[in-house]
Structure 1
Amino acid sequence: MKSNNKFLSYDIKNLKGDIMGGFTTSVVALPLALALGVASGAGAKAGLYSAIITGILSTLFGGTPAQVNGPTGAMTVVLIELYEKYGSEALFAAMVLAGVFQILIGVLKLGKYIHLIPRPVIVGFTNGIGCLIFLKMIGYFKESPILALVTIAVMLIFPFITKKVPASLVALIAGTIVGLYFIPSGALVGIIPSGLPKFSIPVFKSSEITDIIQSGFILALLGCIESLLASLVVDEMTKTKHHSNRELIGQGIGNTVAALFGSLIGTGAIVRSVVNVNAGGRTRLSGTLHGLILLVITLKFSPLASKIPLAVLGGILMGTAIQMIQYNATRKITFASKKAGTVIVITTLLTIFADLTIAVAFGTLLSMFYFVMSMGDVYLKKYEVDDRNYDKNIVSYTIEGPLFFGVSHAITSKLEMEVEDADIIVLNLMNMPVIDISGAVSLKNIKQGLEREGKKVILAGVKENMLDMLYAIEVLSEDEKDVSINRIGNALEYAKNLAETV
């Protein structure tokens, strides 16, 4: 897989594909930018300029050249809650902080750790966000239920007819025409302020600072996760490799500037990025062109958007929410592992009824807990010793993998149950690459406990890098050194000699 992050160089062979990608993604982005801007409470203009500013800056400075950036449903859910709770000034202050946090995460090279979030957690919070978007749009649905249902139907059915034309654009046009001429449409988007956005530093109450910082961190975390997920999708499609930390710095730059100019923050958008790549977009030109085309549309044709019914925009987002929920992934993962399915369900519910940070943190911890528990079941393997008649009963076990705090108790318990009839226990550590202090203490407790019962414990295959720790806490003594660092075969011969001579 090749790197595709050169900033200044350009291959003219990509020009046609980049132009097609830019035009196509701008058409896809237009209805979603309008809908998400209105839904957030900041207005249609904030959504449009979010797609323009982040689409240009995050693409130029990011680490995934073929990625298209802009406002997304996942981010907007959190923005809606912030707007409803604190108002617009605190909302924009939190968004500015989110951009700054993303830059810091990238500068500190923490981007690689975002990928450590387990797949079931990602599926769970994506499902939860889909449910939240749907629930948040019920107010717009009530403006004109029939019109909203027509729009949702177009969103869900049209992709089965053709995927060459964006369903959201067809739903926007068809829904607006139906609302204006055939079905009472309810409230409209209304006049969109003309001209370019103005620079503005948010002013908020000092009592809100803690909530703003917390909200900014949540937005930053969500933006990092969603953007890097989109980057992975682009990598897979283009056979390239993104630069995760540069990507987060680019996201942070775009989002900070967008928020300071009264626009929503955005993320790498999976759907728009896929459309771009399928249309031939491969470099930063396509994402930048997408933003410039949206700028022209906004400046020249925004009066037309004022006639769009809110029920249509609500229907577009409801259809988007239904498509966001990962039905197949949920079914397949749950079928493969009930524990992973439990993580998905719990993460989904926490996303809906608590918040994203709690959902991701608890889902990740639960995944780690299940993993650690399963490791305890398989880490200790018993190997048969030949059945010659020795004076003492010999058993041999191998610890497979690292011995750390998470599995040490499970291994201890299993070993204590299985060696009741043994006189000599050979414990092979050859396949144990790492041991932490908790694992070493557990090893000491195992050894001392069994020796108090009159059993002999022989450690074999201890690696040189572990000896200092094991000596320091008295797991091994000097006279055990020669046997401990030898291979299992030598240790078994030593055990057999002991069994015959005792």
Structure 2
Amino acid sequence: MLNFFRRQSSSYKNDVLSGLTVALALVPEAIAFAFVAGVSPLIGLYSAFFLGLITAVFGGRPGMISGATGAMAVVVVALVATYGVEYLFPTVILCGLLQIAIGLGRLGKLIRMVPHPVMLGFVNGLAIVIGLAQLGSFKTLSEAGELVYLQGMPLALMLGLVALTMAIIWLLPKLTSAVPSSLAAILVVTFISIAINQMGKDSESHTVATVGDMLQTNQQAKVIADAKIAASATSGLAENANIFLEEDLVRNEDGKVIGIKEKAQEVAAVAATDDTLAEAPAEVGISGGFPKLYFLDDYEMVPMNLETLWIILPFAVVLCGVGLIESLMTLSLIDEITETRGQGNRECIGQGAANLVCGLFGGMGGCAMIGQSLINVNSGGRGRLSGITAAVCLLMFVMFLSDLITMIPMAALVGVMFMVVIGTFEWASLKMFRRMPRSDMFVMVLVAGYTVFMHDLASAVILGVIVSALVFAWQHATHLAADVKLNEFGSKVYQLHGPLFFASVASFKEMFDPASDPDDVVIDFYYTRVYDQSGLEAINGLAEKYQALGKRLHLTHLSDECRNLLDTAGDLVEVNVSEDPHYHIATDRLG
């Protein structure tokens, strides 16, 4: 199904229009991830701007989109909750510096170690996660302040508009490629939803949820959740902690929940009169000016000392690892889709520079966004201009067009993401189950399942690589064998086949019988390779046994590094340089 994305050609027009499409889809995601991290929506939007702009210019993968992501948000939420948002910004700066160091150290090439089954599991698990994440857009706040799924007419309207969005994205390219189908779908469905909302403005059951509604719903849910947490902390009053009656909620003129009555404060053991209302949260929105350096804003400065460093360092290291793994995996996926080659090391440096600047301007940090990158590719975005356009348009929305952006229906964005899910899932992998080795099938299912249930893409990839490495070691541990013969001089020759490393050392030792072997023994390494210290130690140990019996052992066709490291064998190592194989490794030229 990845071929679905290859139909688009590269052009400046496609880059600009696809960048606009991505910017529209970035707004609700940046807001949602900001709420996950426990920061204001504007912080999420500003983060998406800086990350998208800087990685588009300096990153190693044209056409890839970066921004505030859920993977990074779940890491920083504990930091923000424990130490305050002021500690977030130096953490993001330190994360950026670590990523730049990794790029300069040319460690981006490590992404080559990810096996194909891990990639398949990652892609399929990611598609499922993106699809399940859209179900949150089918929820609304009930009269009791709980998030519940839509029913009746609102659900029918939502499903109808989602289906219309998907139909436009699928059918429009068959008629014309002048406008990205995703952008056209968003615009058409937006106009339809505005008309529906105008006709049904007197009845909430006949309206369509918009980005603005999503913003308010998230804020209301957060207010109620915070009050419940405070209530749960008070012993003896647990029966009041999870129940808020209709009279306990404070609503504005439009009926939206904006606060909770004194009962919530009372449960939290805060003294107040019965008729006093809990402080209502400030109205939220996405309107703002150009971002300022965080130390010039109203944030309290944290002390720059070793104590602060020890607080932020663990979070920065985790953010660095999560961000780079997700970014490099996205890079590999876009490489496969576009049939081009990105630069992993340059992407590490670009991500680091973006997070560094993002932290300086009071952002929450981020990395490559797989969903938005696929929207960009699907819409024809192939060059750096697409990412630059997306970032600039996002800032323009915040500064000048926030009221219009909040009118976009969530149904249109959900439909776009559902098409991304369909295009991302590797459907051919379902047919490959009977033809794939069982070990590869297990790794693919493991990575996909971990991604879906744990919602941790970075850990899923690491787990998949570890399991694949263990499977490889187990399988190749039995591949070491030897052809044994006597040469014309009466020497016994062991010609090895297969790799010698930690898992095959036991098999290597069992091949030899020093006590019964003749006085002259030759071990020929022409068809094998010593891969690690365990193999070298096994050779040293075998040489000692032959020495103790007064027998002569010849080791031929060893690689240069093995000859240099073999100390116990000493002058017993006999080398025919003219016949020794030369081993070549991949260079960093494309790293």
- Would the alpha carbon gap of residues 287 and 361 (structure 1) be closer, same or farther in structure 2, given more than 3 Å must change? closer
Offset at residue 36 of structure 1 (A): 0.7
Q: 1:170 to 1:124 in 2, by over 3 A?
A: same
Which residue matches 1:161? 171
Whole-angstrom distance in 2 between the partners of 1:150 and 1:175: 13
C-alpha separation between the residues in 1 aligned to 2:415 and 2:375?
21
2:66 is aligned, of 65, 70, 74, to: 70
Choose the corresponding residue for 1:60, options 57, 61, 72.
57
1:219 to 2:349 alignment: no
2:436 maps to 336
- Output one character per residue of 1:6-29: Cα deviation in whole Å (capped at 9) or x when no partner: xxxxxxxxxx96531332222321
Partner of 1:99: 96
1:230 CA drift (Å): 4.4
Matches within 5 A, 1:361-380: 361-378=462-479, 380=480
The TM-score, its normalising length taken from structure 1, stands at 0.71
Q: 1:10: which partner in 2?
A: none
- 1:127-185 deviation digits (Å, cap 9, x = unpaired): 44444455555443222532554455456554432455344762575278447356444
Question: Partner letter of residue 189 of structure 2?
Answer: A
- In the alignment, the residues of structure 2 paired with residue 322 and residue 43 of structure 1 have an alpha-carbon distance, to the nearest angstrom, of 32
Q: Which amino acid aligns with 1:302?
A: S
Asked whether the equivalents of residues 397 and 428 of structure 1 are also in contact (C-alpha less than 8 Å), the reply is yes
- One-letter amino acid of the structure 2 residue matched with residue 370 of structure 1: V
Q: Equivalents in 1 of 2:526, 2:59: separation in Å? A: 44
- Equivalent residue letter for 1:69: I
Q: Distance in 1 between matches of 2:429 and 2:369?
A: 19
Aligned to 1:441: 537
Q: Take 2:103 and 2:160, find their aligned partners in 1: how far apart are those partners? A: 43
- 2:182–2:416: 8 Å Cα contact kept in structure 1? no
> What is the distance in 2 between the residues matched to 1:330 and 1:446?
48
User: Alpha-carbon deviation of 1:79?
Assistant: 1.4
Give the counterpart of 1:427 among 523, 532, 536: 523
Look up the SS of the partner of 1:432 in the other structure. strand
Select the structure that is richer in helix.
1
Output the CA distance in 2 between the equivalents of 1:345 and 1:208: 41
Contact 2:330 2:370 in 1 (8 A): yes
Q: Is the deviation greater in 241-250 or in 282-291?
A: 282-291
Q: What TM-score, normalized to structure 2?
A: 0.62
Residues 119-158 of structure 1 aligned to structure 2 (within 5 Å)? 119-143=116-140, 145=150, 146=155, 147-150=157-160, 152-154=162-164, 157-158=167-168
Cα distance in 2 for residues equivalent to 1:276 and 1:318? 14
C-alpha separation in 1, matches of 2:343 and 2:75: 32
Q: Which amino acid aligns with 1:57?
A: I
Residue 198 (1) aligns with residue 191 (2): no
CA distance in 2, matches of 1:317, 1:203: 38
Aligned residues with identical type, % of pairs: 25
Deviations 1:84-127 (A, max 9, x none): 88458266555444333322222333222233233333443444
Corresponding letter in the other structure for 2:171:
I
* SS of aligned partner of 1:377: coil
Unaligned runs of 5+ in 2: 1-8, 141-148, 201-205, 217-284, 580-591
Q: Deviations over 1:36-63 (max 9, x none)?
A: 1222115664554444332322222223
Could you list the runs of 5+ residues in structure 1 that have no partner in the other structure?
1-15, 489-502
The aligned residue for residue 473 of structure 1 is: 568
Alignment of 1:349-360 (within 5 A): 349-351=449-451, 352-353=453-454, 355-360=456-461
Are residue 79 (structure 1) and residue 79 (structure 2) matched?
no
Is 1:118–2:115 an aligned residue pair?
yes
Q: Work out whether residues 384 and 396 of structure 1, in 8 Å CA contact, stay in contact via their aligned partners in 2.
A: yes
Contact 1:276 1:286 in 2 (8 A): yes
SS at match of 1:431: strand
Alignment RMSD (CA, Å): 4.7
Taking a change above 3 Å as real, the CA distance of residues 38 and 58 of structure 1, as seen in their structure-2 partners, is same
Deviation of the 1:82 alpha carbon: 4.1
CA contact (8 A) 1:69 1:287 kept: yes
